[in-house]
Chain A
Amino acid sequence: MISWLFLAPFAVSVAVSIWNRKAGYVALAVSSAIILAGSFIHFDYIDSFVVIASLVWIFSSWFSVSYGEKYGRWLAPMFGSTIFGMVVILLSRNYLEFLAGWETMSISSYVLIAMNRKNDYPPFVFMAFSELSTVLIVAGAIYSFYLTGGTTIAFTKVDSVIPLVLFTLGALVKMGMVPFMISEWLPIAHGNAPANGSAILSATMTLMGVFGIVRLMLLSPLSQVFGVIVIAIGVLSVIFASLFAYVSEHAKMLAGFSTIENNGAILAAIGFYMIAQTAILRDFSLVVIVIFSLSHSLSKTGLFLGIGASGKEHFLDEGLSSSRFSRIGEVLSTASLSGLFPTIGGLGTWMILEMFFMGASFLGYLGIVSIIAGSLIAIGEGFATAAMMKAFVFTQLRNGKARGMKNEHAVVFSIGVILILLFILSPLFVGPEFLGGLPSVFVFNGFTIQSRFAAADFGLVSPDYVFGLLAVFSLATYAIFRKPDTRSVPVWRGGREFTEDYTPYAFSNNIRLMLKKILRPGIGERSQYMAISDGFWAFMIILTRSYRKVAKGFTLGFMNSSIRWYMIYMILAFMIVLLLAILI
């Protein structure tokens, strides 16, 4: 129960933030730092998620200090209570605590999304999906309770894979992946929250799903069939989400799709754990899950905060000026999300591909699944690179450049630096069983990360040497040649004045035209095209709208769209769940 003490500073922070926005954010950052430090007391595998989440919270709270005044005084408390809910999840020891945190997180983030609404459906869509995921998780919990003979609701080892399946489906909905269906609710919902909110939703709320699945997976028997299904869901999400990201015209929705893509890759790694037949492959996949989650969460925070700092929602919006620091920060975040060295994302992508290619060699007939999954993830990463380039160019390079460093820019820059630092330090946390060296070519022991299926290694990479060589050669080139001489000349356009701009739409139009049948573009708000995957999504909008119609009387009479009522509902729900938890 000691660990619950870590919750107290967050509760205080939420209270403080109602009184003073900035103080609340500072308190949140401090609380996150405390829990970060605390996680190292008895560090186990599950604590990795605490480390990742708290890093994200520190940065997004720091960013928020100077952000979001236009959203009013309720942004900070909602932001805080969303984090509070997540802390509950991370500290939970049983299903009820988990659900309490899950609901707190969902409801607060619902309000967070509702704050930025320009049209009605994003928050409702979000809520509908949140409740769907809650129902599935509750079902999983009840089944687990039943399996243990009604003795405990704690996370315990069970003999059946069913609770894991139900729980996974519930978490998947929250992560934006309905089985075999690319749903858009996540990008729309995350894209419509204030930027700091989007960051914690995309980076840590989906991490909670991963956390939950991994938590249960380690307690459940492994089913290869379910593993293959999970890989399939993950891989399809990677491919389609990266395509949708590429054609997205809304900056934050692009990042939202990228979240699905990354979660798809993480999910595929989870699936690989289920089908892996040797302990060392399983261990490797656990490392992959953590490294990839770490890179995704931090880089996505960097991307969302970078977009937030650019002041853009749609790429064509008038933005605020960028600076050298915000550019460096965002280019490193996008490089990490594209799986490029020398960032932690590069390492994550390398590891996940190595993992699947190892699987191709050593999993027998399942090797086919593995090689297909690996190739599709590689393709998805390729599209992701293009999408990230689009995000970077149209949120940073196309914005004017100003001197000096604003607070937001400092945060984005620091995240970029952290991404490189993590890459350099990565040999420290992959675990000694995957470290090695090649002393014969002056790569000393402990400096290479090796993908292994047995005692022998499959492939290796040395982050420190990669970084070192890149740095040395870049600096040497700069020292010798200095800045290149450039000459700019006006564009020749048949003698006419140059008026057309290279639009973000044109940037991705090649794919849009080539994959017209798959992407089925439709017109979104402000006559911006957005991708509509299938009739499913159109149906969902109709469903949520009609639900809203039915609930209109209720909404007007009771909720009357006042935030206070949401707050009351939220606190009540939380207290009831907590009460139940203590009673049971």
Chain B
Amino acid sequence: MYWYEEGKPDGRFIGNTKKYSIYGSHYNSTIEVVHEKPPERKPEEFIFAYGPSTGGLMESVGLDILTPGEKITSISVDPTYKLRKIKVTGMGIQDALLRIERINGFHSASHAICFLRAVEDALQIEVPEEVQFNRIAQIEAERIRSHLLVIQKLAESAGFGVPVNQLSMIREKVSRIIGTQCGHRYFFAVNEIGKSRFMIDKLQEKLLEVIGEFRMISEGLMESKLFLNRLQNNGINRDPESTGPAARGAGIRHDARNELPVLPYEQLDYFPIVRDEGDAFSRFMIRSDEIFQSYDIIKNIHASKSIERLDYDLQKMGGTGMARIESPSGDLFYSVEIEKGNVVDIGMISPSWRNVLSFRRSMEGNIFTDFHFNWESFGIWISELGVDLS
């Protein structure tokens, strides 16, 4: 294992797989207990049940909001309503990959690439640099689209029709660009070990128009007091273990991109953007700035004419590997164990797991009308949370 080694609990806690507790660059086989506060119900409080199936939520999730009427005392998130059981052990890597891509379709590139990096780590495969940069381009394009959706949702919660539609339009444009670059709008069946079907030539030129339009919209939103007031001081997150834009919005310099050389970000002039307010507004700002930053990263990737197709004889290979990358919502971790080309064990930690905990803490004491802004600002995907991967 190149990026991870066994060791005592040290550094940042990423989460637990079924077998290990994962830290910044260590793993430990004694599982750390994560304490979740059970809500205490006072007589004046009742449970406002939101979901699993309701308008305003993109995915099925059961939210139990404990409230005496307006203030939210505590909130619990039940992602198990749409719990999918996905079995990849015993399968070849390509078959497993088809399923990994569909854990979270919207962040499919991140999941597929992180899984592939773990596999490549296990099999000790050197991947050509062009492929690595290609993967960065995919993840950053995905990040742009993901952040656009979050900002669109924030504007939607504020009832801003024009920016919602304009953001929706440029999100669709990004989807179409991705669709033409790789034949599929969600990066399905694009990545393989050491290979990619994503074309990065002219990607930057195509994205330029989108970024220009986004600049106009984000400036407009920043000018709107109505919009800012809804976000500022809403859902203040001080969770030291939070991840992704939520962490960077809370002044915590957590970013897998410059922590582990899983992908060669260090060659692309990358630095994490950090703000320290910790509220929904800072998460909005982080996402807004990261859209421009992702575009700059893509700009720095020089397209190589052709990617040499390498073939690997997977049937005979084996080993254990782990990888962590920065998905649009935060730390995404995969661990795999491979024997004779088949996956025998797999572990996954999604950023949504950590974000839900941070969300729950930040929601306490806020009021009902704050809920949607805060929920959307964390960028939680239930599909990667409500999944039983084995």
What is the interface of chain A, defined by CB distance below 8 A to chain B?
493-496, 500, 503, 505-506, 509-510, 512-513, 521, 523, 527-529
Contacts and interface: CB of A to CB of B under 8 A. Distances in A.
Interface string B25-48: 000000000000000000110110
Contact of A509 (B44, B51, B52, B53): B44
Question: Most chain-A Cβ atoms within 10 A of its Cβ — which of B43, B54, B70?
Answer: B43
A495 B43 CA distance: 25
B68 interface: yes
A521 B42 CA distance: 13
B49 interface: yes
Contact of B44 (A493, A496, A512): A512
B15 interface: no
A505 B53 contact: no
Determine which residue in A496, A513, A521, A529 has the highest number of CB atoms from chain B within 10 A of its CB, and name it.
A496
A529 B44 CA distance: 8
B328 interface: no
B69 A500 contact: no
B49 A506 contact: no
A509 B62 contact: no
B3 interface: no
B50 interface: yes
A496 B43 contact: no
B68 A495 contact: no
B54 A505 contact: no
Contacts of A513: 68-70
A3 B44 CA distance: 54
A527 B52 CA distance: 31
A509 B47 contact: no
Given A506-B46, A529-B43, A496 B69 contact: no
Given A509-B69, A513-B69, A494 B43 contact: no
B46 A494 contact: no
A334 to B, nearest CB: 24
A510 B69 contact: yes
Contacts of A503: 46
A526 to B, nearest CB: 9
Nearest to B50: A494
Nearest to A528: B43
Contacts of B52: 494-496
Contacts of B50: 494
A494 B44 contact: no
A496 B54 CA distance: 11
A500 B43 contact: no
Nearest to A523: B43
A510 B53 CA distance: 28
A237 B158 CA distance: 45
Contact of A496 (B62, B68, B70): B62
B46 A496 contact: no
A494 B69 contact: no
Interface of B: 43-44, 46-47, 49-54, 60, 62, 68-70
A496 B43 CA distance: 22
9 nearest interchain CB pairs?
Answer: A495-B53, A494-B54, A494-B51, A509-B69, A495-B52, A493-B49, A513-B69, A527-B43, A494-B53
6 contacts: A495-B60, A496-B49, A496-B52, A500-B47, A500-B49, A503-B46
Interface centre among B44, B50, B51, B62 (most CB of A within 10 A): B44
B46 A500 contact: yes
Contacts of B46: 500, 503, 506
B252 to A, nearest CB: 34
Contacts of A509: 44, 68-69
Contacts of A512: 44
A523 to B, nearest CB: 8
A42 to B, nearest CB: 55
Given A495-B53, A495-B60, 19 more contacts: A494-B49, A494-B51, A494-B52, A495-B51, A495-B52, A495-B54, A496-B49, A496-B52, A500-B47, A503-B46, A505-B44, A506-B46, A506-B69, A509-B69, A512-B44, A513-B69, A521-B44, A529-B43, A529-B44
A513 B54 CA distance: 28
A478 B343 CA distance: 75
Given A494-B54, A513-B69, A505 B43 contact: yes
A344 to B, nearest CB: 36
Contacts of B43: 505, 523, 527-529
A215 to B, nearest CB: 45
Contacts of A500: 46-47, 49
Contacts of B62: 494, 496
A448 B47 CA distance: 52
Contacts of A506: 46, 69
B44 to A, nearest CB: 6
Nearest to A527: B43
Contacts of B49: 493-494, 496, 500
A331 B178 CA distance: 67
A499 to B, nearest CB: 8
Nearest to B70: A513
B15 to A, nearest CB: 28
A523 B43 CA distance: 9
A495 B54 CA distance: 8
Contacts of A528: 43
B80 to A, nearest CB: 13
Contacts of A493: 49
A345 B160 CA distance: 52
A390 to B, nearest CB: 15
Contacts of A510: 69
B52 to A, nearest CB: 5
B16 to A, nearest CB: 29
A575 to B, nearest CB: 49
A512 to B, nearest CB: 7
A73 to B, nearest CB: 37
Contacts of B51: 494-495
Nearest to A512: B44
Nearest to A496: B49
Contacts of A496: 49, 52, 62
B368 to A, nearest CB: 13
A529 B42 CA distance: 10
Nearest to A510: B69
A247 to B, nearest CB: 10
Nearest to A501: B46
A505 B70 CA distance: 15
Contacts of A529: 43-44
Nearest to A503: B46
B269 to A, nearest CB: 46
A529 B46 CA distance: 14
Interface core residue of B46, B50, B62 (most chain A CB under 10 Å): B46
A92 to B, nearest CB: 47
A527 B51 CA distance: 30
Contacts of B69: 506, 509-510, 513
A414 B135 CA distance: 84
B114 to A, nearest CB: 32
A540 B52 CA distance: 50
A512 B52 CA distance: 31
A506 B46 CA distance: 8
A506 B68 CA distance: 8
B46 to A, nearest CB: 6
A527 B49 CA distance: 24
A493 B48 CA distance: 9
Contacts of B68: 509, 513
A496 B47 CA distance: 13
Nearest to A249: B43
A509 B68 CA distance: 8
Nearest to A514: B69
B54 to A, nearest CB: 5
A529 to B, nearest CB: 6
A509 B43 CA distance: 11
